Amino acid sequence: MEEGCGETIYMVGMGSDGGDWGLDERDMEASAATVRSMCEQVDADLITLRERNEAAGLVRDYLIRRRVGELDFLEVRVAVVGNVDAGKSTLLGVLTHGELDNGRGFARQKLFRHKHEMESGRTSSVGNDILGFDQEGQVVNKPDSHGGSLDWTKICEKSSKVITFIDLAGHEKYLKTTVFGMTGHLPDFCMLMVGSNAGIVGMTKEHLGLALALNVPVFVVVTKIDMCPANILQETLKLLQRLLKSPAVAGRSLSWMCPIFQISNVTGENMDLLKMFLNLLSSRTSYRDDQPAEFQMSAPTPSGYSDQ
């Protein structure tokens, strides 16, 4: 739990050599009771993630998460990159506001900060938004009924984990802004967006290379699967897998693993899987209480204060 900044995934029924041995129902309940007792001693909650049947019996995966105080929460920063029109801002609008897109950019309008962004539908600055999870892994974001804005203070008060999204520009014209966002915001993970209908085009490879150069773990989200023909989707996935398995990418680490999600912002397909994955992400930054505090400021205003 210390390595995971207050949380870890624990498997019950896994053999000591890594094989799935499995347990019968009685032994599984006894083991679960023991783990639950251990969690109480360290002031943590035990959350069941999944249960599966193996050859010799049951295997369960648990999320153990330390209980945090009312004024505290775990934070994980996720940089959102990908080529222009891949659906980055739209996905963040759907995730953080809980409303599906209408296929014409309804969800992304809630994230744009400038008039020209609303007119063009393209992000030109570094944007931020948050997604809060409670102790049980449920989303706590509740947009205001008047205007649909999010109250970050209320979200943080109700959350035990907060995902801070760093929405970056996808157009080549704003590459310097994207580099600034990746280097200046200290992301724990990078979410690479790929439009299923367009494939790996434009700045996709450049953004992936930037994340690899900064040693930021990457996971991929393939969007617009509701409007993409099946053969085009399969071709995009095939090219994506070929890219991720290439020596330039996979050769950087012996433990390289890159999850790929296929989602639709219009129908909400597989959105629950993406949310579950985000809830399981752990911060990669080591914090020490005996070191001076650090505070990051971005987007300074003319008055000298930050608007973030």
pLDDT value of position 266: 92
Bridge partners for 79 per DSSP: 166, 190
The encoded tokens of residue 274 equal 């993406």
Q: Say whether pLDDT at 300 is over 60.
A: no
Quick one: average pLDDT of 85-95?
88
**CATH code of the region 74-280:** 3.40.50.300
pLDDT greater than 60 at residue 117: no
**Beta-sheet pairing, 57-66 with 161-167:** unpaired
The CB-side HSE value for 218 (13 A sphere, CA atoms) comes to 27
What local confidence, expressed as pLDDT, does residue 113 receive? 59
Q: Of all helices (H) and strands (E), which one includes residue 190?
A: strand 189-195
Helix pair 271-280, 88-97: axis angle to 10 deg = 80
Residue scoring higher pLDDT (171 or 221): 221
According to the model, what pLDDT value does residue 267 have? 93
Cα–Cα distance for residue pair 128/5, rounded to 1 Å: 23
Q: What is the mean pLDDT of the chain?
A: 82
Provide the whole-model pTM. Answer: 0.80
**CA distance linking residue 171 with residue 173, whole number of Å:** 5
Beta bridge partners of 60: 12, 51
298 SS3 class: coil
Domain ranges of the chain: 2-66, 74-280
Question: Quick check: 253 pLDDT over 80?
Answer: no
pLDDT digits (tens, 9 = 90+) for 234-245: 999 999 999 998
Q: Which residue has the higher pLDDT, 94 or 291?
A: 94
For residue 154, the model assigns a pLDDT of 86
Q: Is the pLDDT of residue 255 over 90?
A: no
DSSP three-state, residue 184: helix
Q: What is the pLDDT of residue 252?
A: 65
The mean pLDDT of 57-86, rounded to a whole number, is 85
